[in-house]
């Protein structure tokens, strides 16, 4: 694996004493797709801004392709491009929007024409129809696709996408994600995407980085937020419907959330009787996405209105017995619930 970014002890805050990012160690690979996931406000956009060198950070080290990035930001910025959560276009034609960055780089007029056509095609927009359109003659999904085309035109080595499909129609969303995959698979671009679309990330065998309150967390697929109470020597959280999850007591009284790594959860089709104290939680299956990169299935069940995930190897015969709506039981030790 080649390393694209390496972060050590990076801290960033918008206001004094409120760290928004606090990352001790993080490595991001330079191949394929990397997903940034986490609840709203967990710091995904902030991390993307740091990685795009659009925003300085308070302290820590950031290496880009093995070398400290400090002092080289303006050079690196030519290789890294960032698509905002809500893109906007310049008040000009689609052609001019895409040509703008190319001209700044001194690209010849004939090349600009060819690249604009190719970039529009890559995001599923017919160049003859869309290149002459004005910025106000586009739907929201088309604006986002033109904004992406303008980035692809610059042939970046790193493409940072911030919830690129959050506010667009379904057809545009599919075309945007397809363009991102083509970038990664055919052009060798490193794609880092903040998204809530976990099934898509699993399908793409993306490397997944979970963020919670600015920290990188393992097991970010299952975050059990709020509602924890102390009960004797355990912490307890109730799900609507009467089920309960137990965890080992937290060190601090002010715990709000815990993560549960899906790899620590065993799945059973009947209610088991474990020898050691463990949580046994019943739910109904909702999704069964295949994680291509891991050769496993992310078994996802509805437990009292929350989706809980367990990871089962694809080769496990149990996988053949799983189908949506089926009742399953999750077994996980108290100690596998980790405080955030
Ligand atoms: N310019 C800013 N000034 C002050 N605080 C900010 C600023 N931008 C973001 N924040 C705060 O930083 C925290 C992280 O925000 P960020 O936008 O990085 O989260 P996110 O994970 O991208 O959230 P979402 O999923 O809603 O897009 C939030 O608490 C937010 O209020
Ligand atoms: Mg965001």
Q: Is 58 left (phi over 0), alpha (psi -120 to 50) or beta?
A: alpha
Q: Hey, what are 303's tokens?
A: 């437990």
> Is residue 156 within 8 Å of residue 79, measured between CB atoms?
yes
In sequence order, the β-bridge partners of residue 159 are 81, 191
132 pLDDT exceeds 70?
yes
Ligand 2 centroid – CA 211 distance (Å): 11
Cα 56 to chain centroid, rounded = 22
Ligand 1 centroid – CA 153 distance (Å): 29
Residue nearest to atom 18 of ligand 1 (CA): 43
Q: Ligand 1, residues 17, 18, 45, 55: which to mutate, most atoms within 8 A of Cβ?
A: 45
1 pLDDT exceeds 70?
no
The average pLDDT across 251-277 equals 85
The average pLDDT across 70-99 equals 92
Looking at ligand 1, which atom is closest to the CA of residue 49?
18
Looking at ligand 1, which atom is closest to the CA of residue 163?
27
- List Cα–Cα distances, 284 to 35, 177, 290, 300, 316, in angstroms: 27, 29, 18, 8, 19
Ligand 1 centroid – CA 102 distance (Å): 31
15 pLDDT exceeds 90?
no
| CATH of region 222-339 | 2.40.50.100
Per-residue confidence band for 275, with pLDDT thresholds at 50, 70 and 90: confident
7 pLDDT exceeds 80?
yes
Q: 132: Cβ–Cβ under 8 A, 6 or more apart, which residues?
A: 93, 94, 95
Per-residue confidence band for 253, with pLDDT thresholds at 50, 70 and 90: low
Ligand nearest to the CA of 162: 2
Cβ neighbours, 10 Å, residue 255 = 16
Full DSSP string of 155-208: --SEEEEESTTTTS-HHHHHHHHHHHHHHHHHS--EEEEE-S-HHHHHHTT-EE
Ligand 1 centroid – CA 40 distance (Å): 8
Ligand 2 centroid – CA 312 distance (Å): 30
Ligand 1 centroid – CA 204 distance (Å): 27
Q: Of how many residues is the chain composed?
A: 340
Q: Which of 229, 244, 305, 307 is nearest to 278 (CA)?
A: 244
* Strand ranges (E), 165-314: 190-194, 207-212, 215-217, 223-225, 228-231, 234-238, 244-248, 257-260, 266-268, 278-287, 290-291, 296-303, 306-313
Cα 14 to chain centroid, rounded = 22
Q: Hey, what are 35's tokens?
A: 């997903």
Domain ranges of the chain: 3-216, 222-339
214 pLDDT exceeds 80?
yes
Residue nearest to atom 6 of ligand 1 (CA): 14
Class of CATH domain 3-216: alpha beta
Ligand nearest to the CA of 212: 1
Looking at ligand 1, which atom is closest to the CA of residue 42?
21
The average pLDDT across 110-128 equals 96
**Rounded distance between C-alpha atoms, residue 213 and residue 227, angstroms:** 17
Core vs surface per residue 96-129: b (16+ CB within 10 A) or e: bbbbeebeeeebeeeebbebbbebbebbbbebee
Q: What mean pLDDT is reported for the chain?
A: 90
Q: 335: Cβ–Cβ under 8 A, 6 or more apart, which residues?
A: 247, 248
Per-residue confidence band for 9, with pLDDT thresholds at 50, 70 and 90: very high
Looking at ligand 1, which atom is closest to the CA of residue 196?
25
Residue nearest to atom 17 of ligand 1 (CA): 45
Cα 163 to chain centroid, rounded = 8
What stretch of H or E contains 100? helix 94-104
Q: Ligand 1, residues 11, 18, 20: which to mutate, most atoms within 8 A of Cβ?
A: 20
> Is residue 299 within 8 Å of residue 288, measured between CB atoms?
yes
Most trustworthy range by pLDDT among 18-32, 124-138, 185-199 = 124-138
Q: Ligand 1, residues 14, 167, 217: which to mutate, most atoms within 8 A of Cβ?
A: 14
Ligand 1 centroid – CA 87 distance (Å): 17
Position 178 scores a pLDDT of 92
> What's the order of all strands across the beta sheet hosting 223-225?
223-225, 257-260, 337-339
Cβ neighbours, 10 Å, residue 240 = 9
pLDDT digits (tens, 9 = 90+) for 295-314: 899 999 999 888 899 999 99
Tokens 């209105």 sit on residue = 305
Position 180 scores a pLDDT of 92
Q: Which of 214, 332, 314 is nearest to 263 (CA)?
A: 332
pTM of the predicted model, to two decimals? 0.83
| Residues near ligand 1 (Cβ within 6 A) | 14, 20, 38, 40-46
Residue nearest to atom 31 of ligand 1 (CA): 41
Looking at ligand 1, which atom is closest to the CA of residue 48?
18
């Amino acid at each position: 694996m080649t390393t694209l970014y390496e972060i050590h002890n990076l801290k960033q805050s918008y206001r004094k004493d409120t760290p928004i990012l606090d990352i001790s160690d993080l490595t991001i690979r330079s191949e394929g797709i990397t997903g940034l996931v986490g609840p709203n406000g967990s710091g995904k956009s902030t991390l993307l801004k740091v990685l795009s060198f659009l925003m300085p950070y308070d302290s820590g080290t950031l290496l880009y392709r093995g070398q400290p990035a400090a002092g080289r930001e303006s050079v690196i910025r030519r290789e890294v491009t960032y698509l905002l959560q809500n893109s906007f276009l310049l008040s000009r034609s689609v052609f001019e929007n895409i040509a703008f960055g190319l001209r700044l780089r001194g690209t010849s007029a004939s090349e600009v024409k060819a690249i604009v056509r190719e970039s529009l095609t890559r995001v599923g927009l017919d160049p003859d129809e869309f290149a002459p359109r004005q910025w106000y003659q586009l739907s929201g999904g088309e604006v986002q696709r033109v904004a992406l085309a303008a980035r692809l035109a610059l042939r970046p080595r790193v493409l940072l996408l911030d919830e690129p499909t959050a506010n667009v129609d379904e057809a545009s969303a599919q075309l945007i994600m397809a363009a991102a995959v083509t970038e990664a698979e055919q052009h060798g671009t490193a794609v880092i995407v903040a998204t809530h679309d976990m099934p898509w990330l699993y399908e793409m065998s993306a490397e997944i980085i979970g963020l919670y309150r600015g920290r990188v967390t393992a097991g970010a697929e299952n975050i059990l937020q709020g509602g924890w109470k102390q009960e004797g020597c355990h912490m307890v959280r109730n799900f609507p419907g009467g089920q309960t999850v137990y965890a080992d007591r937290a060190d601090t009284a002010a715990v709000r959330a815990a993560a549960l790594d899906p790899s620590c959860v065993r799945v059973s089709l009947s209610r088991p009787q474990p020898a050691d104290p463990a949580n046994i939680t019943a739910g109904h299956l909702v999704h069964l996405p295949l994680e291509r990169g891991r050769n496993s299935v992310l078994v996802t069940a509805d437990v009292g209105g929350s989706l809980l995930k367990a990871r089962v190897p694809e080769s496990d015969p149990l996988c053949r017995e799983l189908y949506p709506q089926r009742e399953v039981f999750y077994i996980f030790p108290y100690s596998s619930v980790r405080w955030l």
